[in-house]
Amino acid sequence: MPARPPLTILLAAPRGFCAGVDRAIQIVELALARFGAPVYVRHEIVHNQFVVENLRRKGAIFVEELDEIPDTDAPVIFSAHGVPKAVPAAARQRKLFYLDATCPLVSKVHVEAERHHAAGNEILLIGHAGHPEVIGTMGQLPEGAVRLIETSDDARTVLPGNPERLAFITQTTLSVDDTAEIVAILKERFPAIVGPHKEDICYATTNRQAAVKSIAPRSDRVIVVGAPNSSNSLRLVEVAERAGCPKALLIQRAHEINWADFEGITTLGVTAGASAPQVLVDEIIDAFRARYDVTVESVVTANENIAFNVPRELRDDAQPRASRRVQG
C-alpha cells in the first residue's frame, strides 16, 4: 500500500457556531423539551441543513410563513435572522404563542433603525437584497424608510433626499473589508452621515474573517464548511481568496468533496461559518485523514466567551404556560 502524502491542515479559530446561532438552536431544543412536539419554526432557524434536519427529527416543523401554521397552542419560533414587525403582529392577532430567536446583535440593528427613523434621518442599509436579515431589518420601519446599498457603485450613486439627515446601518454578516469601503465612500460623499455607535458587523463575523486571513496565505486550498445560503460562510470564501489562497471552496458535507480540487496540495486551511457545527468540520478532516497523512495545526486569532440568554419563557424558573393542549 503506497504511503499517504503528508498534509498540514491549518484549522482556523474562531470558527463555527457563534453565540446567536447557539442561542437560536437552544431555543428550539428547550421549547421541544418543555412543551413537546411539534414546535413550529418560521424560516430555517439558522442556515445549515444538517442543523435543520436534526431539529426536524426531534419534532420541529419548518415553515416559510405563518399562514402555513394551523391554529395551535404549540410554540412558534422566529429564526435567528430576525423578522419584519408584521410577523409578530400577525402572530399576536392569531393568538399564537411565539418565541423570538432573533440574534441580539441583529436586534441591536433593529433598534438603531428605529432610533434613526425617530430622529428624522433617512436610512441607508448596507446589505444583500433578499437575505432574511435584510428583509427583517427593513421591515422594522414603514416601506420606503430604508434604502438598500449593496455595492460600492450603489454608494457612489445613491441620492438621498437630504444629505444632512442621513444615517447608515449594516447587515451583521457582511465582508468587513467590503463594508469598510462602502462606508468610506458614503462618508466622503455625505460628511454628515451618522453611523452606529458600535460597528453593526457582529463580533463572530469579524473574528472568523480575521482567522481566515491568517491561514489563507499559507494554504494551497481553503475549505469553508457552511451552506450556500449562509451569508457569513460565502463571505469567508471571498475573504480567503482575497487574502492569498489560490482557491477556496464552500463545502457542506464530506461526501461533497471533489478530490480533483485538492490534488498535489500540501497545506489545507479549514474553517466553518457561524451556523456550521463542529461535527461537520470533524467529518471533513476525517475524510482527508483517510487519504493523507494529516497533521492538524490550530491557528487561534481570538478567544470568544460570549453567550446570550434564552427567552424568559424557557428559563428554569419560568412559570408554567396556561395551555389548552393536553400534555401527554
Residues 123-149 as b or e (16 or more Cβ within 10 Å = b): bbbbbbeebbbbbbbbbbbeeebbbbb
- CATH code 3.40.50.11270 region(s) in the chain: 19-103
Range with the poorest average pLDDT among 154-168, 188-202, 308-322: 308-322
Instruction: Give just the sign of the alpha carbon dihedral 89, 94, 95, 98.
Output: negative
CATH topology for the 105-189 domain: Cobalt-precorrin-4 Transmethylase; domain 1 (3.40.1010)
Q: Determine the pLDDT at residue 320.
A: 53
> For residue 170, what is its C-alpha cell?
449594516
Reported as a single tens digit per residue, the pLDDT across 35-76 is: 999 999 999 999 999 999 999 999 999 999 999 999 999 999
CA 168 to chain centre: 20
pLDDT at 107 > cutoff 80: yes
CATH topology for the 19-103 domain: Rossmann fold (3.40.50)
Active site residues: 133
pLDDT at 141 > cutoff 70: yes
Reported as a single tens digit per residue, the pLDDT across 254-310 is: 999 999 999 999 999 999 999 999 999 999 999 999 999 999 999 999 999 999 999
Q: Determine the pLDDT at residue 326.
A: 29
Q: Determine the pLDDT at residue 22.
A: 96
Q: How far apart are CA 35 and CA 74, in angstroms?
A: 7
- CATH code 3.40.1010.20 region(s) in the chain: 6-17+203-300, 105-189
Phi (first) and psi of residue 245, to 5 degrees: -80, 135
CA 118 to chain centre: 28
Q: What is the DSSP letter of 290?
A: T
pLDDT at 164 > cutoff 60: yes
Give mean pLDDT, residues 15-20.
96
Q: Determine the pLDDT at residue 74.
A: 97
Q: What is the DSSP letter of 95?
A: T
CATH topology for the 6-17+203-300 domain: Cobalt-precorrin-4 Transmethylase; domain 1 (3.40.1010)
Q: How confident is the model at residue 322 (pLDDT cuts 50, 70, 90)?
A: very low
Reported as a single tens digit per residue, the pLDDT across 191-233 is: 999 999 888 889 999 999 999 999 999 999 999 999 999 999 9
Reported as a single tens digit per residue, the pLDDT across 126-136 is: 999 999 999 99
Cα-trace Rg, the chain:
22
Phi (first) and psi of residue 298, to 5 degrees: -80, 130
Please give the share of the chain, as a percent, with pLDDT higher than 70.
96
Q: DSSP readout, 198-266?
A: S-SS-HHHHHHHHHHHHHGGG-SEEEEES-TT-HHHHHHHHHHHHTT-S-EEEESSGGG--GGGGTT-S
Q: How confident is the model at residue 119 (pLDDT cuts 50, 70, 90)?
A: very high
Mean pLDDT taken over the chain? 94
Q: Are 301 and 18 in contact (CB under 8 A)?
A: no
Q: How far apart are CA 242 and CA 246, in angstroms?
A: 9
Residue with cell 391554529: 71
Q: What is the DSSP letter of 148?
A: E
Please give the share of the chain, as a percent, with pLDDT higher than 90.
93
